[in-house]
Amino acid sequence: MPIAMGAYCLLGFVMLSRRIDFSARPKVAAHYVVDSAISSCFGAVICSSWCVLSWLYAPADDRLQFPIILVMGALATAYCLANVRIGAIANLVIDLLPISLLLVTSGRTLDFAAGCSLLFAGLFQWRMINAHQRHVLDLLQLKKQNRTLALTDPLTGLLNRRALQDFADALGDDREPARLLLIDIDRFKAINDAHGHDMGDEVLVRVAQIIDGFSGNNVSAARLGGEEFALLGSNADLPPATALQLLAAVREADMPHGQQVTISVGIAEGMLNHEDGWQRLYTDADRALYEAKNTGRNRFCHIKEIDEGQPRRRAADLPVPSAAA
């Protein structure tokens, strides 16, 4: 038994000495937690068997030292595993139940009292573990809510600028070309002036809903501030035809103030796997958006058309392609 426990501890030391970036690999972290719980149960079996055998073969006057040593280790282990409730409870049962039953049924008053004490200690630790895990879950939920608030536009529910940049960093890790559509509501100030800021907010929410309908499948929608929005995704998942579909969807949508709303869109592509990739992509899309606004609004403009000196197209008058296009 001592040799088995020594080998178990040595193996655990080797496993814990490995450096693993759990924050970047959540699945590995989940497997690690499960493996740790199972491994701790294996150690508990060794300790419990060792204690039971020692108690059975020790002189009657020396028996109680073994359960006392075991319970201190069992309670400490269960406390360390408090965040993995099933592992902590399994350790308590494996460590305390066999020796407690032996003590309670030994026929000696002192052993009976010690066995009851061990059972009560185990129940108390179990209650503490449940309370601890509830607190941990509450903290994790609060952390998730705070993160959502930090990365979400409170009015529209879309991602904010910071979250979109995080998504851009993730796209850069894939080393695939990305496409950015910058979207601006045409003459939005006039809506606020004529109908008030509350109605303007309702229009923003309605436009955001339409834009969000084009997100998903590795494409994210965001509100960058004011009346400016964005769609960002890989070239394969966000085709240029999306801009024309988006123009038509907003132009034809029923708006809260009962009037038509149009948008202008700037399109750009680029790689995001280098330091200034996002800034360059955003600058190009912003140039294209400025050109679309400057040449009449209610249209899209591609940065390539500007760089190549191609004539501007009134995108709003072109037929809307199918989603497959």
* Type of residue found at 36: S
Distances in Å between the alpha carbon of 280 and those of 115, 166, 286, 291, 301? 71, 16, 10, 17, 17
* Catalytic (active site) residue 227: yes
Tokens of 1: 């038994």
Angle between helices 65-80 and 109-151 (to 10 degrees): 10
Q: Model-level pTM? A: 0.58
Give the list of residues 6+ apart from residue 158 with CB closer than 8 angstroms, or none.
152, 208, 211, 212, 221, 222, 223, 229
Distances in whole angstroms, Cα of residue 163 to Cα of each of 36, 155, 159, 160, 212: 34, 15, 6, 5, 15
pLDDT in tens, the chain (325 residues): 888 888 888 888 887 777 766 666 667 777 777 777 788 888 888 888 888 888 888 887 788 888 888 888 888 777 777 777 788 888 888 888 898 998 899 888 888 998 898 888 888 888 888 887 788 778 878 887 777 677 899 999 999 999 999 899 888 887 889 999 999 999 999 999 999 999 999 999 999 999 999 998 889 999 999 999 999 999 999 999 999 999 999 999 999 999 999 999 999 999 998 878 999 999 999 999 999 999 999 999 999 888 766 644 444 444 444 433 3
H-state helical runs in 1-108: 2-16, 26-57, 65-80, 85-104
Radius of gyration of the chain (CA): 32
Whole-number pLDDT of residue 5: 82
Sign of the dihedral through C-alpha 119, 120, 124, 125: negative
Annotated catalytic residue, options 227, 252, 291, 308: 227
Residue type, 63: R
User: What's residue 168's pLDDT?
Assistant: 92
Instruction: Give residue 211's pLDDT.
Output: 97
Order of strands, sheet of 300-302, starting from the edge strand that comes earlier in the sequence: 219-225, 228-234, 178-185, 263-270, 300-302
Cβ atoms of 168 and 122 closer than 8 Å: no
Output the CA angle 68-69-74, nearest 5 degrees.
95
Residues 158 and 229: beta-carbon distance below 8 Å: yes
> Among candidates 156, 36, 40, 56, which has minimal Cα distance to 99?
56
**What pLDDT, on a 0 to 100 scale, did the predictor assign at position 321?**
43
What integer pLDDT is reported at residue 88 of this predicted model? Answer: 84
> What pLDDT shows up at residue 323?
39
pLDDT tens figures, 74-121: 887 777 777 777 888 888 888 888 989 988 998 888 889 988 988 888
Taking a C-beta distance cutoff of 8 angstroms, is the pair 234, 218 a contact? yes
